[in-house]
Structure 1
Amino acid sequence: MVSDRELVRSLGPVGRAFFGRFHALREVQRHAIEPIFSGKNVLLSSATASGKTEAVFAPLVARIRAQAPSSGEEILVLAVAPTRALVNDLHARLQGPLSEIGWSCGRQTSDHQDKVRRPHVLITTPESFDSMLVRDSKWEHGALAGHLLANVEALFIDEAHLFESSPRGDQLVWLFGRLRRLREHALRQEGISFEEVQVCAASATVSNPEGLARRLLGEGGRAVLVPGSREIEILSTGAATDWVPLEGLADPEAIYANLLLADGPDDMDSIVRHVWRAIERGSVTDCRKVLVFVPSRALCDRLSLALFDTFTSRRELFVGAHHGSLERAMREDAEQEFSRSRDAVLVATTTLEVGIDIGDVDVVAVVGAPPDTSSLLQRIGRSGRRSGHVRVVPIVRGPIEGRALCSMLDAACRGSLDPAPQARLWSVFVQQAASHIAQARKRGRRRTDLIGLAQAVWPEQGGPMTAQQILDALVERGELTESRGRLFLGEEWSDRFERAGGDFHHNFEAGGQGIPVVDASTGEVITHVSQPPAEGGSVALAGRRWNVVSQSGEIVVASAPAATGDATFQYAARAAPTGRSYAEHVRRGFGFGAAEAPLVSGPRGPLWFHFGGSAYDAVLRALLPGMKSVRGLFGLALSGVVTEQALRALSSDQNRLTGILRQLADDIAAPMSLGRYHDLLPEELRKTIAVDLLDPEGFAGWLASREVTISERVRPAAHRLCSALGWTENA
């Protein structure tokens, strides 16, 4: 077996730069160095805080240096991260070791423009990657004569699990395909045979690592899995014990008994009290820093202010807020203050779920249940990187989210992850076709160029035909125009491109910035909101209290000395659908088996708990006329009566079932996040994608297996469910 010293030595100066200050390599680094240094396309999957980034990056850079040391200023490695904050974090981590080997490192986002100096390693987002492909060509006499990214030899994807089953993940795959073509063209002009670009990625633990490797890295991609986890402890509800090992709690029911309760979504006092307990019981030496995850931006504003009011009156510490609608400067200030403060509490949405370096975190408080187990692991994995113990304060505001959270915590302890749906999101091809056309400037693109790109990126049977159908539809709608056998941007896409903003280059749903909120004392924008608060009273924003000074085009606020209501701003957002994973966790948290879907009776009539999620919910309402959605239980239950015989009869008629799924294709697509341009696809293709994702055969099997009748074995779970609804069981 190769020793740590030999592995580090094999990487030469790069090994010393990345690992020289450590006494030993981590397990994940021992597994990754050899295959990546030998040129393999590797997705490295392991738990959070295991050293994945260095494990991938060091051999990737060492291999390039060993082949041909750089002789000038050229971008050799392109690193892609999901967010600008992660770009900044990756830059901070890599800049030091890279400088030791004489390599430069830069960032290219809307916040930082380092591409002009052509650093050896350039870190970016998918959208800025897209922008560079389009806007950084060199043209001479109407022909392509060079490109900023033509010399890239390796690609690195950080936090790759965040690109799984998403439009941005598929966009990355198309961008890689376009980069390969660009590099092949550049090398051919120099008379050099094409060498494949090496693509590697670092990922947290996912349910199907091999599938993610093939999807992002190509058919030659392989997954290297390094198991391992840290002990998880939760703050106990009892007075006798502070922290309880999750492994010692036998099942979700035992975990549920240890969750900390708040009296509804507006009860800030209970949440404040639970978080303070962690700090107070942890003592000054044990608990210095707490990261609190919340499900919404408005709650982030309210809770951070409530924590600030209470905590700063008891102890000297920093309390801040961090969410996506706050301006970059506000977010970075919060990150830096939390990192450098000895004692600190930071309230955040998903913006801090991934690996931004905010220093050591002693405890993570989770308010509510996240969408799935992977998301939960990301959040709680921010804790205990120094101590090796993950400490969690699990707070729920109602029994439904409590049952979901206890099931997720149990799954996290067992290392069981939720499956992610897999499908080709052809909506991404719409944006990529426009982007690839824009890259050719006024020359346009031949159809065969775009169809050939589709064949190279998604080589499965039927890909070229699908691309052809999409191009036909885009031309028919005027999104693209065609002249002399070439495709050009239509008026709307041309306008979007000429505005030179990031809107042209992204595939996620665009939300308007909204009304700017400006600090009267500095003139700086704090955030953008969709609506001002109600007239009168103070406003909670970013962990502080403000008074609205004026509202005319922008909302001007000033620091408020005292509370006079503490309203919140409204942010542009739509209600999140109930995912299949979340619904399954609610079922499991109550104690129902995989096939059990109870029909329970209450004061307002019968409710059927199918636990199928929002997409299944939409189909069931079409299949079962008279069944209605239930407020607060979307994706979990329908009002009305259903029988097992009726469900089996529906499941046996495959033709009718498939027909209904096709009719509901656009309704089904809404909760599935199929991409910003899904509506521009041909109708028949939209139906095919939605139906394939729902899987008629799998849905029919699920429908036929539902056990509606409550047996004696199921009665305890049904009793828990009725109690959660405030009902007396009568089933």
Structure 2
Amino acid sequence: MSPLDDLDPILVHHIVNSLGWRGLRPLQEESIGPVMAGKDAILLAPTAGGKTEAASFPLLSRMTAERWAGTSVLYVCPLKALLNNLLPRLETYTGWLGRTAALWHGDVTAGRRKRILADRPDVLLTTPESLEAMLVSANVDHRAFFSGLQAIVVDEVHAFAGDDRGWHLLAVLERLQKTVGRPVQRIGLSATVGNPAELLHWLQGSAAGRRSARVVAPHLDEPRQQGAHAAPCDIELDYVGSVENAATVIAALHRGEKRLVFCESRRLVEELGEKLRLRGVTTFLSHASLSVDERRRAEQAFADARDCVIVSTSTLELGIDVGDLDRVIQLDAPMTVASFLQRLGRTGRRAGTRRNCLFLALTEDGLLAAAALLLQWKRGWVEPVVAPPEPRHIVAQQLLALCLQEHQVGDKLWQEWWNGFGPFGQPAEPIVRHLVEEGYLDQDGGMLFIGPEAERRFGQRHFMNLTAVFTSPPQFTVLQGRSEIGRTDPDLLTEEIEGPRKLLLAGRSWLVTYIDWHRKRCFVEPTDSGGKAKWSGLGFERATSFELMRAMREVLLGIDPDVALSKRAVTALAEARDHFMDVVHPGGTLITRTSGGQVRWWTWAGHRANATLAATLGTVVAPAQRVNDCWVRLREDVDRQHWKQAVADVSDQLCLPDVDQRAVKGLKFGEALPPRLAQATLATRFADLEGAQAVLEEPVRFVTLTPS
């Protein structure tokens, strides 16, 4: 008996005749049983592995067989653009069975929302932020609207689980389940991750261990021919040395083909985009600070065009369809193997084509990072997805949002809304007390409700700011006439310059003609060249992991990744190995002293482990240093005896890193926490206790470096 026999016969008819499929993919076949049985599940497959159909086909079959009514399936995504891209497919699938699908997010018009409320779709595509906005909105009867809810599909679940949006999503799902009054099936769709069972346990929330669950990942059982992928891949590592040279290479290579170039910053996207256009290359750009219209134009044009390049940050890493792609090019390296797998999976979708990626390293650091990442990839290693620890600021946000949703909540009953789940249960008691003491919540007659301080800080625009868990640095909107181009960092508008002020945005240079400081708007006109791009960040998001730094050390010790290396890359790697020859050793870490007295401990352990070590070994660490990925600066008077004593004193007493006050201010909702808890939250997140402990257990060699 075929698994297809369990699906609705009308659906099977259309799979064969409308889609023209001869059968289902392994993931789609293996998902039918557990999804139809109502089990929670993680469906795991590489990019373009058919995960949407693996979830939707059995759910739609159940919808018909069990006569689900109203909005019975939620399809949650991390990106609005991904939802926009998925809607036509899900409208087609639901339409075959006489059902409907609709979209609800921040860009959906008020008129369309009213129609959705009046005539509930069977499948609603949305984001966690929009879902919470529905729960707290006075215009949505959320109990009636969600009364028929049976299942929730979380697409790109790994993208949620690795940051605070994941905690926010789980907390909202618990509140939604409490509103519905029954268990709701949870299905996560994910690209390859290193710990799928743990990811499923996380997705289940309060039901973990109590509800039946299954990881469906047929590709993990296949023999691995190329690292973490069963399909052959064409990977090349080249060293070009500058953005200018990268633009020259990209313009010359693969003419007539569609190329997607990933960069690790918005500034780099802008600089490369401008240089490609100056070389006559049809170029489109995509990053978070471009306007919605600008990004949509780029994505649509790129999907329809052939001989062109789109330059993007990670915004196009997830499953947005950009058409029939020929090549992926990566400047320097992404921060994780998981990101590389997502990007690699954009290619090789056509019959007769292979997955491919060309790395163009701009710097020595970028070359080493790319080589280290490829070394780990070829070993089949992928980062485990780990939720950030101690999400106390999200707990504070959720308590406020719950009081906004319910108007008043019993001061002994609020935990029930999260079914005692993790950080939202008993550990939240001190946060509730602080919210009451500081006026964020009022307490009267055994009830909690929104207080004046919450009204003052978050009450604008119907508490819209309370439903977003990201903190974005303040940016100015850039306008040409009435058309929004995107947003820029205010530093570019305030720094002292000579001559006219110019911006680089959407791959073009703009002359600033007027700045509206009060409304944070900047008006521009086109200009030939000379624009500058800049966006600020806190820096921790670029911290390299312990595993990748150790792989980088292996590269410096002479191990090449098993991929094609250009002559330039071979030469540059040899120069890098010569450069770092005195500070790497296969048998442990090195403490080096220069003739000038500078002492460095070369750990090759990554930023977080080094920050942990610097905090732990305070007696021998130089004060007021900036921690990096490779080394920790020590006091100039440290010798072997000092060192042995310092390490012996802290052998089992690792300390959390010190926290920069700017980072505390950048923690969204951090102001609703007691200061010590806000600092403790960030200190825990900036630490790598395992990596630090591993380094402390390694042998240490003292070396005096002599000038060459």
CA change 1:245–1:348 in 2 (3 A) is closer
Q: Deviations over 1:541-568 (max 9, x none)?
A: 21233333444443322233x33xx221
The amino acid that maps onto 1:25 is L
Alignment partners' CA distance in 1, 2:16 and 2:686:
46
1:271 and 2:233 matched: no
2:105 alignment counterpart = 109
**For residue 279 of structure 2, what is the amino acid of its counterpart?**
T
CA positional deviation for 1:490: 2.2
Alpha-carbon shift at residue 454 of structure 1 (Å): 4.0
Question: How far has the Cα of 1:729 moved from its partner?
Answer: 7.9
Structure 1 residue 651: deviation in Å? 5.0
Contact 1:231 1:245 in 2 (8 A): no
**Alpha-carbon distance in 2 for matches of 1:695, 1:546:** 42
Q: Do the aligned partners of residues 132 and 646 (structure 1) sit closer, same or farther apart at CA in structure 2, a change above 3 Å counting?
A: farther
State the Cα deviation string for residues 14-45 of structure 1 (Å, max 9, x = none).
34445652122112112211111111111111
TM-aligned CA deviation for residue 380 of structure 1: 2.2
Please list, as runs of the form range in 1=range in 2, the aligned pairs for 1:45-444 lying within 5 A after superposition.
45-70=44-69, 74-113=70-109, 114-116=112-114, 117=116, 118-135=120-137, 146-184=143-181, 194=182, 196-218=183-205, 219=208, 220=211, 221-227=213-219, 245-246=234-235, 259-263=237-241, 267-280=242-255, 284=256, 288-312=257-281, 318-386=282-350, 387-422=352-387, 423-441=389-407, 444=408
Secondary structure in 2 aligned to 1:517? strand
Q: CA, structure 1 residues 208+598, in 2 after alignment: closer, same or farther (shift >3 Å)?
A: same
Pick aligned residue for 1:508 from 470, 474, 477: 470
Q: How many Å apart are 1:90 and its aligned residue?
A: 1.9
CA contact (8 A) 1:232 1:245 kept: no
Amino acid at match of 1:598: L
Q: Which residue of 2 aligns with 1:612?
A: 605
Q: Distance in 2 between matches of 1:323 and 1:584?
A: 31
Tell me if structure 2 keeps the 8 A contact 1:136–1:148. no
Is 1:30 the counterpart of 2:29? The answer is yes
With over 3 angstroms needed to count, the CA separation of the structure-2 counterparts of 1:610 and 1:326, relative to structure 1, is same
Alignment of 1:541-556 (within 5 A): 541-553=505-517, 554-556=521-523
Residues in 1 aligned to 2:468 and 2:618: alpha-carbon distance in whole angstroms: 38
Structure 1 counterpart of 2:533: 569
Deviates more, 1:14-23 or 1:371-380: 14-23
Contact 1:87 1:107 in 2 (8 A): yes
- Residue 388 (structure 1) shift: 4.4
Please say if residues 234 and 357 of structure 2, whose CA atoms lie closer than 8 Å, have aligned partners that are also in contact.
no
Secondary structure of the equivalent of 2:487?
Answer: strand
CA RMSD of aligned residues (A): 3.4
Instruction: Write the letter of the residue equivalent to 1:179.
Output: L
Taking the aligned partners of 1:244 and 1:62, their CA distance within structure 2 comes to 36
Structure 1 645/542 Cα, relative in aligned 2: closer, same or farther at 3 Å?
farther
* Counterpart AA for 1:65: T
Please tell me whether the aligned partners of residues 600 and 608 of structure 1 are also in contact (alpha carbons under 8 angstroms). Answer: yes
Counterpart of 2:578 in structure 1 is none
Q: 1:530 aligns with which of 479, 485, 489?
A: 489
Counterpart AA for 2:430: Q
Q: For 2:628, give the aligned amino acid.
A: F
Shift of 1:619: 3.0
Q: Alpha carbons of 1:175 and 1:537: their partners in 2 closer, same or farther (altered >3 Å)? A: closer
Task: Work out whether 1:40 is the aligned partner of 2:5.
Answer: no
User: Does the C-alpha gap of structure 1 residues 517 and 447 become closer, same or farther in structure 2, counting only changes over 3 Å?
Assistant: same
**Residue 527 of structure 1: how far off its partner (Å):** 1.0
Answer whether contact 1:232 1:390 (CA < 8 A) is retained.
no
Could you state the TM-score of these two structures normalised by the residue count of structure 2? Answer: 0.83
Separation in structure 2 between the aligned mates of residue 699 and residue 559 of structure 1, nearest angstrom: 50
The residue identity in structure 1 corresponding to 2:136 is V
Once the two structures are TM-superposed, the CA of residue 685 in structure 1 deviates from its matched residue by: 5.1
Matching residue's letter, 1:543: G
Among candidates 676, 699, 704, match of residue 707 of structure 1: 699
Q: Tell whether the 8 Å contact from 1:84 to 1:109 is kept in structure 2 after alignment.
A: yes
Q: Mapping of 1:423-502 within 5 angstroms?
A: 423-441=389-407, 444-458=408-422, 464-495=425-456, 496-500=458-462, 502=464
Question: How has the CA–CA distance of structure 1 residues 361 and 372 changed in structure 2, closer, same or farther, with 3 Å as cutoff?
Answer: same
Q: What code does the residue aligned with 2:361 have?
A: V
Q: Which amino acid aligns with 1:165?
A: G
Task: Assess if the C-alpha contact under 8 Å between 2:147 and 2:180 holds in 1.
Answer: yes
CA shift for structure 1 position 92:
3.0
1:634–1:548 distance in 2 versus 1, CA, 3 Å: same
Q: Give, as a single letter, the amino acid of the residue that structure 1 aligns with 2:28.
A: Q
Task: Determine the C-alpha separation between the residues in 1 that align with 2:688 and 2:157.
Answer: 29
Q: Displacement, 1:529? A: 1.3
- Measure, in 2, the Cα distance between the counterparts of 1:13 and 1:24: 15
Contact 1:106 1:115 in 2 (8 A): no
| Cα gap change, 1:693 to 1:509, in 2 (>3 Å) | closer
- CA drift of 1:375 comes to 1.4
Alpha-carbon offset, residue 385 of structure 1? 1.7
Percentage identity across paired residues of the two chains: 25
Q: Counterparts in 2 of 1:567-646, with a 5 A limit?
A: 567-575=531-539, 576-581=541-546, 582-591=548-557, 596-600=588-592, 605-622=598-615, 623-625=617-619, 627-628=621-622, 634-640=628-634
Deviations 1:219-254 (CA, angstroms, capped at 9, x unpaired)? 134322232699879xxxxxxxxx9945xxxxxxxx
1: CA distance between counterparts of 2:202 and 2:642? 39
DSSP 3-state at the match of 2:260: strand
Report the Cα distance in structure 1 between the residues aligned to 2:198 and 2:178, rounded to whole angstroms. Answer: 24
Q: CA deviation at 1:298?
A: 1.6
- Could you tell me whether the CA contact under 8 Å between 2:274 and 2:507 is conserved in 1? yes
Deviating more after overlay: 549-558 vs 45-54: 549-558
Contact kept in structure 2, 1:32 and 1:55, CA below 8 Å:
yes
Mind listing any 5+ residue stretches in structure 1 that lack a counterpart?
185-193, 234-242, 247-257, 313-317, 712-717, 719-726
CA deviation after TM superposition for structure 1 residue 679, in Å: 5.5
Residue pair 2:199, 2:385 contacting (<8 A) in 1 also:
no
- Cα distance in 2, alignment partners of residues 543 and 693 from structure 1: 35
> Residue 351 of structure 1: CA displacement?
0.8
Would the alpha carbon gap of residues 207 and 544 (structure 1) be closer, same or farther in structure 2, given more than 3 Å must change? same
SS at the partner of 1:448?
A: coil
**Paired residue secondary structure (2:356):** strand
Cα deviations by residue, 1:162-186 (Å, 9 ceiling, x for unpaired): 01232110111111111111111xx
CA distance in 1, matches of 2:639, 2:233: 43
The alignment's TM-score, normalised by the length of structure 1, stands at: 0.80
Most deviating of 477-486 and 175-184:
477-486
Query: 1:379 offset after TM fit, Å?
Result: 1.9
State the AA in 1 paired with 2:239: L
Q: Is the 8 A contact 2:333 2:366 kept in 1?
A: yes
2:327 and 2:356 in contact (8 A); partners too: yes
Distance 1:475 1:540, change over 3 A: same
Which has the larger displacement, 387-396 or 495-504? 495-504
Q: What letter corresponds to residue 609 of structure 2 in structure 1?
A: Y
User: Which deviations, in whole Å up to 9, do the C-alpha atoms of 1:484-513 show, x marking residues without a partner?
Assistant: 11111222322424522631102222332x
Distance (Å, rounded) in 1 between the aligned partners of 2:640 and 2:108: 59
Secondary structure of the corresponding residue to residue 44 of structure 2? strand
Q: Report the AA paired with residue 48 of structure 1.
A: T
2:264–2:334 CA contact under 8 A, matched in 1: yes
Name the count of aligned residue pairs: 646
Alpha carbons 1:475, 1:481 under 8 Å: kept: yes
